[in-house]
Structure 1
Amino acid sequence: MLQLKQVHHIAIIASDYARSKAFYCDVLGFTLTGEHYREARDSWKGDLALNGQYTIELFSFPSPPARVTQPEACGLRHLAFTVEDVDAACAQLTEKGICCEPVRIDPLTGKRCTFFADPDGLPLELYQA
């Protein structure tokens, strides 16, 4: 069996690089650790860290196709982030104009969680530790 150690990074393509960079850094608290413009692709690549750990590669590409909107479509369903207090995190997002779904209880774990979206509609989850 392949001996995977951990997830190295998650790659996200944004329709508006600056807007998504501001969302992930200013709203969610990621740190921009590197940023590169790739002229041959007319594309930006930003390296984002969470609590010092490299986590997300944020890309831009000219005219990327829209994301499939059905939540049960094949492919990435959502990204989940652990928080200490889902209600407090929702309140902070709401203060910044970001709408969260009503908090629900995961029927398998009994943990509290909610969903919201990034600027391109990528579903994100907050999961209480």
Structure 2
Amino acid sequence: MIRAVHHVALSTADLPRLQAFYCDLLGFREIARASWNGDQAKIDRVMDLPETAATTVMLELGPLCVELFQFAAPTQPPKVDGERPVHKHGITHLCFDVDDVDAEYHRLSAAGVRFHTPPQDFGVAKATYGRDPDGNVFELQQLTGGFHA
């Protein structure tokens, strides 16, 4: 039986930059860090990749963890210009529940975070999508009544 979602993992070319975003701006804290250099056959088998080398940090905020990876090997394909649209198959966004979506939107906007739009009122929730420094989409959501998940 599945009990809960433990973490979501993101791969990045700049671990310190992405960690600063999630810790300094969103309030996560580092709870674990690991590195390996092509010598972890078990990890390679789990990832189905050859001779991986990476650093990973696990960040925690309440019951959610976000794991960040920076791979040194295998080499990365060239970066595709532009941001991945949210309708593409795969993970579309991370959603963070907040007490005051307008205040968080203004605080993060002032820190240089780019949002698609100011918070929109949907009756049961106010929400907006923003982008982390790597272009991953996150949602800020304030539940205003009727819907709880």
The answer to whether structure 1 residue 103 and structure 2 residue 119 are counterparts is yes
Q: Using structure 2 for the length normalisation, give the TM-score.
A: 0.75
Larger radius of gyration: 2
Q: Distance in 1 between matches of 2:135 and 2:76?
A: 14
Q: Summarize the Cα distance change of 1:126–1:54 in structure 2 as closer, same or farther, 3 Å threshold.
A: closer
Task: Among all aligned residue pairs of Structure 1 and Structure 2, give the percentage whose two residues are the same amino acid.
Answer: 33
Unaligned runs of 5+ in 2: 39-51, 144-149
Q: Distance in 2 between matches of 1:38 and 1:26?
A: 26
> 1:93 maps to which residue?
108
Q: CA deviation at 1:71?
A: 2.1
The answer to whether structure 1 residue 18 and structure 2 residue 33 are counterparts is no
Q: Using structure 1 for the length normalisation, give the TM-score.
A: 0.86
Q: Summarize the Cα distance change of 1:54–1:79 in structure 2 as closer, same or farther, 3 Å threshold.
A: closer
Deviations 1:39-93 (A, max 9, x none): 2233110010103x45111111135444772321111111100001000101110
Q: Distance in 1 between matches of 2:118 and 2:64?
A: 30
Q: Distance in 1 between matches of 2:26 and 2:32?
A: 17
2:102 counterpart SS class: helix
Q: Distance in 2 between matches of 1:37 and 1:88?
A: 37
Unaligned runs of 5+ in 1: none
The total of aligned residue pairs comes to: 124
Q: Summarize the Cα distance change of 1:75–1:61 in structure 2 as closer, same or farther, 3 Å threshold.
A: same
Verify the 8 A CA contact 2:10 2:67 in the aligned structure 1: yes
RMSD, matched Cα: 1.8
Q: CA deviation at 1:5?
A: 1.0
